[in-house]
Structure 1
C-alpha cells in the first residue's frame, strides 16, 4: 500500500502517518506538506526514512501534486487529503490562505486523482454544518444542510462540494468524512486545548472565550484516524461518513477539567482562568451522529473517557516542551493584540 498524505506534517495528518506506520508494516507513505507555521517536521521525527518520504510542496501546485499522485498505481494506493488551513481565528483575520489551501488545493488534488484514476479520501470538518442551539437534541448527519459560519468553514464546505461534483461528473473514486473537534499530541498551541495546557505549563493564566458555554463534540485524534483507515479499507466511493465519539462538552467544562488535572484550579471565587472577549460568529454547539459509520464500517472509538484522554495529552505536552516552546511566545503575543479580559 502506497499513500500520499497531504498535510502530513500537521496535527491530524502527522498522527495518521504514525498510526499507519505502526499498524501497516508494508505501507509506504509520501507526505506532501507546504510546511507553513502549523506544520512541524519534528512531528515526523523517528519514522523510518525508507517508509516515509517527506516532500515540501504545496498541494495547490498542480505540477507537484500530479507528479506524486502519478506514482500510485496499486489497488490499495490512495491519496488522503488532510491539508487545510484550519484555525478559525486566523480565517477571520486573513481569509485568502484558506481559499488557497482549502479550495484551490482540493481542486488540484482532485484533478490529479482524476488524471491517474487514484482513490481519494477527503478529510473535512463538522463546522461545514454551522451550529446547533444549546438545547437542541439534534445532531449533524450526512443529510444536514451546509451552513458555514466563518471563512474557514465556508472554504471547507466549498472543498466538500468540489469533491462531490468530481465524483458525479468525472467518476473520481472519492470518499469524504466530516469529523468533530480533535485533541491529542502534535496539535499546534494556538488551538484551545493545547493553548490552555501550555499556558499553565509556562505560568500564564489560561483564557476562555466568553462564558465558555459553547459545546464541542471532542474526539481523540487516534480515534479519528482509525475511522479514516476504516473508510479507506471499507468505505464506498461517493459516500460521506461522519466521525464523532459522543464527546459533547462545553468549553467551560473542558477548561475546568484541564485546570483540575494540572492542579491549577483557583481558590475561592477565582476559577483559575480568565474570561476574554468572544470571537465573532462563534458557533454555539457541534454534535455528530456517527451511527452510520459505526454500523456500516464496524468502527468504534476507543478513547471515550475525556478525563483520561486529556490527562494523556497533558502528559505529552509536559514531556515534549522542545516541540512547542519555540512558538509559544509568538502565539501568545498574537492573542494579546485581540483579547480583552472581561
Structure 2
C-alpha cells in the first residue's frame, strides 16, 4: 500500500500546477514594503484565494517567529544566507519547485544555488546588491567605497545611515580591511574589522532599514543600502547615486519558501509557481525595484529599471561583487560578539 501511495504522490507532483484550481486563503510572512499589491490582486482573482501579508523587518525576526510556532503563515521569504538554516532546522516543506510548470523560466544562474541545490524548497523572489548611496549635493567625492560609512569624510559625518544587518555590514567591513571571503575566522582580520566598526559608529546618525523618506527629506545624506532602495531614492531625488564599493560588495537573493507548518500548502505551491511566470515576476520588480531571477521578465519591466545602474551593475564593478554564503554557527558567533560591541 505504501508503494502505491508513493507512486501516486510522485505522479501528482509532476502534474502542471498552473492549471490547478484553488480557494481559501494564503498567509504570507515577508519583508515590509516588498510585495506589489497588483501582484496579489492578480493571484487572488486567478485562484479565488484571499491573501494576507504580515511584515517582518529582518531575517532574525522571521526565523525567531517561525521557531516559536503557533502561527498560520504559509509562505516565508528568507534571504539566501538564511535559507540553509531554515532547511536544516526542518522549518520548510520540500515543495519541489523544480517540478513545477513555470520552473523552466528560472534564469539558469539561479537554479543550482548553494543554499538550495536544484531548488527543492525555494523559488527566486528578488536579488540585488548591498552598497552605499550618497547625496552628491553634500559630498562630491568617490561614492564607490565603503569608506563612506567606515571612514566617513567630514561632509558626511553624522549624516550616514547604516543597515542594522550584521551580515551585510560585517561583509563590507571584511572586504574593506582586505579580506577575500565573507565568512572568515581570521582573528587578526576580525580584530581590524571590530576596531574599524567601533571607531566609525559615532559618525553614523542611525542604524536603520532603507527609509526612502529620510533620504529624500535630507535627514540622511549617505548610507549603506540595497540597490533597489537606492533606485527608489534616486527617482525622487536625482542627487543621490549608488556606489559599488571597490573593496568588495555582496550579492544576495530573497526566496519564497513554504513553511512545513503551513495550513494552506496547495495555495502556497500555486503561489510559488505563479511568481515564476515572467509577467508576474516583472510585477514583483516593478514595486520594490530589484531584479528577480526569472528569464524573460525583462521585457515586462518598467523602462526606468532596464538600464538603471542600481540594478545593472556597471562593467567596472562586476568582478567586485560576491554572492554571500551562509557562515557556520562558529563564525556567526564571532561576528555576533563584534556586532554587539558595535551596537553598544
* TM-score strictly above 0.5: no
* TM superposition score normalised by structure 2: 0.31
Larger Rg: 2
Larger RCO (CA within 8 A; separation ≥ 6) = 2
